[in-house]
């Protein structure tokens, strides 16, 4: 943190007390493409995060320096906090711009600030760098408006402005929608609600959640970056969301209580799936079965049945590959390499797909053999260099300084 404060002063000058806010990335253990269908998910927050070192000032301007892009950009907060963006803002600037926009519409008074942005959540990896950035940006605006706020969890900063962390997650989600990705609530929610040593089982309809302890003495979570970058705004993500909505509309004819795929029972789907176009049928089948897999996974963890949890992870990958069609040869290869390692309990792609990472559940003694197998085989077959992290569940967003 001291280095980030020093970096701020290098970029913007040695003025005042610099604050630091943090928004963590996340890995979703199971429950993929269920969040925007009103379903269940099981993510955990990561130590990898986006941090902003900031200083509030009196000008209605937000000035940012991105360490990752080595680029400086700014936008103005005009009358009644209306934004006056530059003609062609860099893509990374759009996230705090849209966060400021939705916070202003929520009734918060925005103050100008300057900030250095740094992060170690790999962009395009499926570990939700965008949500981490949105959450950190939101905290920066909350701190700029109340400089006396002490360091502590995001909940305290939100409460000081009359917000809950659940509402702040919804606002950050709305900001991402305006950037161009119609994401569900999971990424922003877990970034704000992460709990050390636990995943959470989140109901994306009512935002109720419960902790799911992860016994690190019996199994470790290994995230492997395929090296294949993706852009969700390219349209494939939004296309699948539209296909799910199409399925809901068609299935509602058989049950008027169906509002989202969450409401479609396996029995209802089995009885009427042939009323759906083939592609829509496959998308719906994945979501409906995946919601059940999250329920089964929570039950397995409560029972300490890690073998069953691992099998559910592998079943999830097959469904994402075959029915939702969001995998690829590199992700499939990483899953196959992992599953051949003794002591690996299960593996699947994580995140929206189209590249990014896999998540693997492995016995502690299998972690090093898994790492060696991936480093030996994956580059030879793909020409890509994977990155591997052994991850622990981390706390959620916070004002750190």
Active site (catalytic) residues: 187
What residue has token string 């016994």? Answer: 215
Beta strands, E only, 120-251 = 152-153, 198-203, 209-213, 220-225
Question: What region, left, alpha or beta, does residue 67 occupy, with left being phi > 0 and alpha being psi -120 to 50 degrees?
Answer: alpha
For residue 307, count other CB atoms closer than 10 A to its CB.
12
Burial class (CB in 10 A: 0-12, 13-18, 19+), 80: exposed
What residue has token string 């099998």? Answer: 311
For residue 14, count other CB atoms closer than 10 A to its CB.
9
> How many Cα atoms occupy the beta-carbon half-sphere of 28 within 13 Å?
29
∠ Cα 114 58 104 (to 5°): 80
Q: At a CB cut-off of 8 Å and minimum separation 6, what does 27 contact?
A: 43, 44, 46, 127, 221, 223, 350, 357, 359, 391
Q: At a CB cut-off of 8 Å and minimum separation 6, what does 217 contact?
A: 364
């Amino acid at each position: 943190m001291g280095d980030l404060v020093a970096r701020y002063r290098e970029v913007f000058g040695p003025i005042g007390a610099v604050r630091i806010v943090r928004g963590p990335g996340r890995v979703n253990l199971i429950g993929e493409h269920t969040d925007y269908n009103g379903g269940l998910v099981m993510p955990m927050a990561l130590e990898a995060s986006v941090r902003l070192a900031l200083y509030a000032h009196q000008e209605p301007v937000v000035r940012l320096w991105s360490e990752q892009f080595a680029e400086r950009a700014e936008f103005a907060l005009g009358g009644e906090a209306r934004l006056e963006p530059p003609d062609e803002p860099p893509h990374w600037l759009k996230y705090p711009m849209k966060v400021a926009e939705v916070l202003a519409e929520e009734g918060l008074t925005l103050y100008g600030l300057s900030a250095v942005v740094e992060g170690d959540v790999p962009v395009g990896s499926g570990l939700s760098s965008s949500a981490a950035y949105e959450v950190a940006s939101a905290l920066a605006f909350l701190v700029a408006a109340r400089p006396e706020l002490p360091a502590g969890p995001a909940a305290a900063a939100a409460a000081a402005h009359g917000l809950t962390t659940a509402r702040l997650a919804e606002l950050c989600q709305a900001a991402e929608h305006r950037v161009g990705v119609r994401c569900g609530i999971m990424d922003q929610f877990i970034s704000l609600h992460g709990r050390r040593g636990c995943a959470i089982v989140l109901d994306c309809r009512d935002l109720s959640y419960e902790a799911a302890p992860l016994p690190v003495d019996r199994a470790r979570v290994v995230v492997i970056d395929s090296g294949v970058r993706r852009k969700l705004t390219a349209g494939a993500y939004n296309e699948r969301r539209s296909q799910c909505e199409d399925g809901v509309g068609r299935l509602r004819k058989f049950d008027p209580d169906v509002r989202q795929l969450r409401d479609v029972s396996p029995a209802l789907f089995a009885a009427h799936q042939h009323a759906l176009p083939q592609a829509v049928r496959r998308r719906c089948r994945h979501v409906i079965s995946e919601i059940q897999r999250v329920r089964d996974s929570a039950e397995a963890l409560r029972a300490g049945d890690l073998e069953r949890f691992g099998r559910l992870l592998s079943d999830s990958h097959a469904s994402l590959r075959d029915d939702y069609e969001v995998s690829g040869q590199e992700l499939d290869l990483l899953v196959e390499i992992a599953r051949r390692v003794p002591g690996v309990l299960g593996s699947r792609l994580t995140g929206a797909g189209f590249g990014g990472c896999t998540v693997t559940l492995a016995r502690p003694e299998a972690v090093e053999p898994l790492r060696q197998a991936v480093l030996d085989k994956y580059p030879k077959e793909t020409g890509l260099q994977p990155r591997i992290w052994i991850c622990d569940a981390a706390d959620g967003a916070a004002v750190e300084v």
